[in-house]
Amino acid sequence: MESKINEQRIFNAICLALVVAAFTFAIRANLLGTLGKEFGLTPIELGRVASAAFWGFTIAMFAGGSLCDLIGLKKMYILAFLGHASGILLTIYSQGYISLFISTLLIGLGNGFIESASYTLISSLYSDDKTRKLSSWHIWFPAGIMIGGLLAFFLTWMNLNWKFHMAIMLPPTLIYGVMLYNQKLPKSERIILGVSNKEMIKACFKPLFIFMIFCMFLTSATELGTNQWIAELLSTVGVPSILLLVFINGIMTIGRANTRFMLKKFSITNLLLFSAVFSFIGLVWLGNTQGYMTFAAAGIFAIGICYFWPTMIGFVSETMPKTGPLGLSLMGGVGLLSTALIQPYFSEIYYSQLSSNIPVGVNPELLKNAIAGTEAAGLWEQVKLIAGANTLLYVSILPAILIVAFSILHFFKNVEKPGFSQTMDKTLQNS
């Protein structure tokens, strides 16, 4: 007798897997400075290590679209588990830049296979409720960052070695692996609908899809790029910056939990435009505030970015279903590619701002190594504050562009709802 698909167990397992992916973001974001000192990394090397997770994520996302149908969803999750487990262990036993880079890359691969496989899985299991279920699943990314951020804060407060911070991710990794073991998983929606490979590839060359790829590049850089660096950029605003990361992802968790309500109040394109506006306001405010008002600015930013990722994926899945697993993987892959590309730029902009704001004649090394409470330490905190604020103002250019892009998308979506995709495609082809 053929075993049945246990939807609830599978959904719970992939939610836990996403929590692990989120832990790798939150805990490693908190350890960036620590790892740099531990291994004597230069700012550029540190930026490359940070971006390695996103390169791995990107590679797995792009490959996932083809692998989903080629090897099946079950093997995709096996690859994800192996990437997470081996990456965490290798990080703990890293000896320098090379091993740290490889371990971070492996973790990124694990994260990418989780995302790619789960987009296809959810679209297949819940074909009539894609955007809401994708948002329900994606709740666990900000929730995981929030939990991981709190763990990072308390582990740091307890003065525990950074290796213990990494090891805490192993138990949930093992649990989701066990939960998915021997489970029957469905075929992709593309196969169920009978869409050929040729049709799927052709759909991914439609102008509307390419337009959404462009938008995904910017939304992901705004959300993930900023979240990965925010603990460092806001390290001297007068509040524990890791708690700001926790606060942002707490707001995102609440927001995604209320996606059903938001989709009743806003159309999907209106929601994207709303997100771009709030992201822009939040970043500009973060770049111009200090102390506990930073939480208010961070809250606005969090409201902005919380709907970006699942709504972008949901829009493509619902509006362009023929793009199949390839389309969803390309969307996620481009999102992660943009984050991988933006990491070194974050690093370069930030460290350029640090250098340009150090008073003439002052030795940077003396400031960096100044004892807490001294005049030099106070000056260094002020320099970091200005550098972090200016970096965030640079980043605000991204959601500013998105406001224009989503205004165009919303206009065409509402001008002619029937045949919207075809109308948008023709307009983009003629422009």
The confidence score (pLDDT) of residue 431 equals 47
Q: How many CA atoms lie within 13 A of 430 on its CB side?
A: 6
Which of 226, 234, 222 lies closest to 386, judged by CA?
234
Q: How far apart are CA 273 and CA 262, in angstroms?
A: 13
Other CB atoms within a 10 A radius of the CB of residue 414 amount to 12
3-state SS assignment for residue 372: coil
Locus of tokens 């081996």: 86
What CA–CA distance (Å, rounded) separates 352 from 300? Answer: 27
Pinpoint the alpha helices (H) of 1-158. Answer: 7-38, 43-70, 73-92, 97-125, 130-138, 140-157
Cα dist. 277→300, 302, 401 in Å?
10, 12, 10
How many Å apart are CA 207 and CA 312, to the nearest integer?
16
How far, in Å, are 116, 237, 294 from residue 278 at the CA level? 28, 21, 15
Rounded distance between C-alpha atoms, residue 130 and residue 315, angstroms: 9
CA atoms within 13 A on the CB side of 10: 21
Q: Which sequence spans correspond to the domains of the chain?
A: 7-430
Ranges of residues in the chain with a pLDDT under 70 are 1-3, 188-193, 231-233, 235-239, 241-242, 370, 373, 414-431
**Residues 147 and 18 sit within 8 Å (Cβ to Cβ):** no
The confidence score (pLDDT) of residue 284 equals 92
Burial class (CB in 10 A: 0-12, 13-18, 19+), 290: middle
Residue 70's pLDDT is what?
80
pLDDT score, position 14: 95
What topology is assigned to 7-430 in CATH? Growth Hormone; Chain: A; (1.20.1250)
| Predicted pLDDT at 212 | 95
Name the amino acid, one letter, at 109. Answer: L
CA dihedral (390, 350, 336, 30) positive or negative = negative
Please, are residues 243 and 358 in contact by the beta-carbon 8 Å criterion? no
In the Cβ-directed half-sphere of 281, how many Cα atoms lie within 13 Å? Answer: 13
H-assigned helices in 221-323: 226-233, 241-257, 259-265, 268-286, 293-305, 308-319
Q: In a 10 Å sphere around its CB, with 0-12 CB exposed, 13-18 middle and 19+ buried, how is residue 173 labelled?
A: buried
What is the rounded (10 degree) CA torsion for 126, 130, 134, 136?
-70
Residue with tokens 């938001």: 262
Of 28, 386, 376, 372, nearest in space to 233 by CA: 386
As a whole number of angstroms, the distance between CA 221 and CA 341 comes to: 9
Tokens of 253: 């968790």
How far is 133 from 260, CA to CA, in rounded Å?
9
| Interacting residues of 224 by C-beta distance below 8 A, sequence separation 6+ | 25, 54, 335, 336, 339
- CA proximity to 390, closest of 190, 176, 234, 213: 234
3-state secondary structure of 374: coil
Distance CA 18, CA 360 (A): 47
Return the CA Rg of the chain: 22
What is the structure's pLDDT at 78?
Answer: 93
- pLDDT value at residue 235: 66
C-alpha 165/C-alpha 170 separation (Å) is: 10
DSSP 322: G
Give pLDDT, residue 1. Answer: 38
Element (H, E) at 193: helix 189-193
